Amino acid sequence: MKGWCVSLWPPILMLILCSVHTNSLKRCLISVDMRFIEKSFQGIKRELQAKDTFQNVTVLSILESPKNIKPADVCCVTKHLLTFYRDRVFQDHQESSPQIVRKISSIANSFLYMQKTLHQCQEQRWCHCSQEATNATRTVHDNYDQLDVHSAALKSLGELDIFLAWIDKNHQETSAA
Amino acid sequence: MLARLLLSLAALGGPRWSSGAHGTELPSPPSVWFEAKFFQHILHWSPIPNQSNSTYYEVAILKYGKEDWQLLPNCSQRLVLSCDLTLFTLDLYRSFGYWARVRAMEGSQHSNWTITKTRFTMDEVTLTVGSVKLEVHKDFILGTIQPPRPQITPEGDAYENIFEFFRQYKIAIRKVPENMFTVYTVPHENFNLSVPGKWGEFCVKVKPSVASRTNKAEWSEEQCLRLSQQYLTVTNLSIFFTLFLLLCGGLVFLALQNYVRSKGKLPAVLDFKKPDPFIPNNLPCPEIYNTIHILGPEAFLKVSPEPRDSDLHGSTDSGFGSCKPSLQTEEPPFLLPGPEPQSQGTLGKGESPELQDSHSNGSSNSTDSGICLQEPSLHRGPGLSWDQQVRSASHSQDDSGIGLVQNSEGKLEHTQCQSALGHISILEPKVPEAEDPAVMTFQGYLKQTRPTEETASSGGSLDENPLTNDLGPKPWTCLQAETGWPLPALAKGYLKQDSPGLGVAPTRAAAGQWNQLTEEWPLLALASCEDLSLTSWRFTHGLGSLDCVVAPIGLLGSFDSDLVNLSHISSLNSKE
């Protein structure tokens, strides 16, 4: 009897850890207003995507299928993509329109806030990065490097709706859970 | 050389140039866009200018991230400017979206491609409802919202699955024929609206939304239904039953009461009783206004020497500088029955004429009211110093009140008495405690009987600001003209003035008599110079002072028979 009870402990613990890990993204992003970011992007979506001349290339191809990213890797991938946008996309993009610059700056600030939140989660070991998550992030960088810097940055900005929808979907799933 | 150049150029831009040659012959469609609802993705485009009947358009779509464009031949119909791409975009809600492009074709000619401005994603889908079912249940409207159910929807891609979270609906209801809608937001597809106490025709429409998305939405068509008035409700029935019980109870009570009364016997003989002797038939009517009360000096002793604060005093002064006879217009401190002063008991014999005269003098019209202050210097020194003090005070004031001021030529000047009083009141508004105001009053008059030289000698006393020596409100003493215009003694001076217009020189005897009067009747000291009002202060040489002197005495003329004439004189002066 005692052995039977003891044998139940590891699965129970695993279940608890999995649920905690699944909810890690929710805990990290619960205070972020995603709708505000989406509205900011909708205001400049037309101008950004109209300039994209490479319709057959996708930078965030890893996010196309939900099977590509495991739930446990969601936090890590989100963190890496936020870093990608902060360090490369926003830096490489050159915009002349002040209205677009204002909107992009607003989105960038929101991304910085999300990064800080995820960093706290990482310190608490809630945002573990597996090898698969690291590989997925590398694919994004490779896609970015296929194009010239200006086109790549422009396309990556045009794909912000994909990135935001993916975060929103994972956030909703975790919050509903 | 030139031929080689042309050939090389043709080789380089051959296909493009050839297509461009065709493309340039036909203009490309100005714009291409999607108009999409849930699993209803319609591509629209605008026609090219000067299109012919043989012009048709080619449509191609590209799934974002894929390599090749997919041409859609079903959309290439003549003079058709839209195409349903739902079947080709079924995975729209689970993919990154599609690009679409259109070009014009006419024979062998074609135009350049026109691509959509944005990548077509589920963000551009306009949300709608499939249907709304309404039912009336008592005072409630029960509603059931049916999401859109297109037949082409793939399995597992129902509206509730695509938009799994944060679905909500806006319910707008209005009463016919009003156009004002009341909007509610419900988080579910089932709702109930309560319309208590209202009946008639109501119209309802619904608009869906997803809180976490920025999709546009459309209102559904209005559905109207009629709410009939419910008469046989539980509430109405209970009220009716209660009223019925009360009515029955009341009827039973009345019946019992009548029955009980019918038990009583009627008297055999009707006895008319005599009236109660204790109940008087004719009550004596009180005569309120027929009695004449002769007020003695005791009544006047009740008058407080201190000025009273009342609204009557309320001109620009704080009450100390007003010049209204307090005895006349305020609530009399002595016992006088009846409201009318004429019918009242007089203050003494001859009082009523004085009162009337004082009224006719226009004292009631005075802007000043209250008690006139008296200088303490009047008690001490020469009276002419008072003139200087008041003159300086009056000159330093703005328009307010009337006061006696002597100019350099010795003529009397009209200034507001109130101004001087106000000046005095500012200096020391406190109530005097040590000195007798009555004595001070008459001393003031005594001073004014002296000529100019006394004024110069006593000028310093006023400069010391005697009023600041803890003297508060004092009875007003009118300023007398300077040299050549001494204040006459009240009694005899006025007595001498049998005809109007004659100046009466005040004499020492009159001043002394006045002094004696004020000693005996401190009320004189309190008498405010209502005559200092504009109507009464008509200064003529030697008469203005008399008015001032007369006014207080006029109130108390009954005290001395000689003073009776003073009122006449004052009236004459006022008329002048």
CATH number of the structural domain spanning residue A145: 1.20.1250.10
pLDDT of residue B527: 43
Mean pLDDT value across chain B: 65
Mutation target for B interface from A41, A47, A55, A147: give the one with most B CBs within 10 A: A55
Residue A55 has pLDDT above 70, yes or no: yes
Residue carrying structure tokens 């024979």: B107
What's the domain range around A46? Answer: 2-176
Rounded Cα–Cα distance for residues B367 and B316 (Å)? 9
Q: Which residue has the higher pLDDT, B323 or B280?
A: B280
In chain B, which residues have their Cβ closer than 8 Å to the Cβ of A55?
62, 64, 99, 115, 119
Nearest CA in chain B to A175: B165
Distance from the A50 Cα atom to the nearest Cα atom in chain B, whole angstroms: 5
pLDDT of residue B15: 40
Rounded Cα–Cα distance for residues B40 and B45 (Å)? 16
Measured from the Cβ of residue B206, the count of other Cβ atoms closer than 10 Å reads 26
Rounded Cα–Cα distance for residues B84 and B101 (Å)? 13
Bridge partners (DSSP) of residue B145 are B132
Q: Under DSSP, is residue A163 helix (H, G, I), strand (E, B) or coil? A: helix
Q: Under DSSP, is residue B554 helix (H, G, I), strand (E, B) or coil? A: helix
Contact yes or no for B212 and A58 at CB 8 A? no
Rounded Cα–Cα distance for residues B151 and B560 (Å)? 122
Give the ranges where B348-458 is alpha helix by DSSP (H). Answer: 351-360, 377-380, 384-395, 417-427, 437-448, 452-457
pLDDT of residue B77: 87
pLDDT in tens, B457-516: 444 444 444 444 444 444 444 444 444 444 444 444 445 444 444 444 444 444 455 455
Segment holding B572, helix H or strand E: helix B561-575
Task: Give me the residue from B117, B121, B213 closest to A50, CB to CB.
Answer: B117
Which has the minimum average pLDDT: A111-115, B253-257, B264-268, B344-348? B344-348
Mean pLDDT value across chain A: 82
Rounded Cα–Cα distance for residues B511 and B487 (Å)? 8
pLDDT of residue A172: 52
Instruction: List Cα–Cα distances, B274 to B42, B256, B277, B278, in angstroms.
Output: 111, 36, 8, 11
Mutation target for B interface from A30, A161, A170, A171: give the one with most B CBs within 10 A: A161
Distance from the B125 Cα atom to the nearest Cα atom in chain A, whole angstroms: 14
pLDDT of residue B245: 93
User: Given pLDDT bands bounded at 50, 70 and 90, which one contains residue B379?
Assistant: very low
pLDDT of residue B410: 41
Q: How many domains does chain A have?
A: 1
pLDDT of residue B262: 77
Q: Which residue has the higher pLDDT, B445 or A9?
A: A9
Token couple for A135: 């590989």
A176 to chain B, any CB pair closer than 8 A? The answer is: yes
Q: Report pTM.
A: 0.52
Mutation target for B interface from A56, A62, A144, A155: give the one with most B CBs within 10 A: A56
pLDDT of residue B423: 41
ipTM for the complex shown:
0.81
Which has the minimum average pLDDT: A42-56, A115-129, B338-352? B338-352
Residue B102 has pLDDT above 60, yes or no: yes
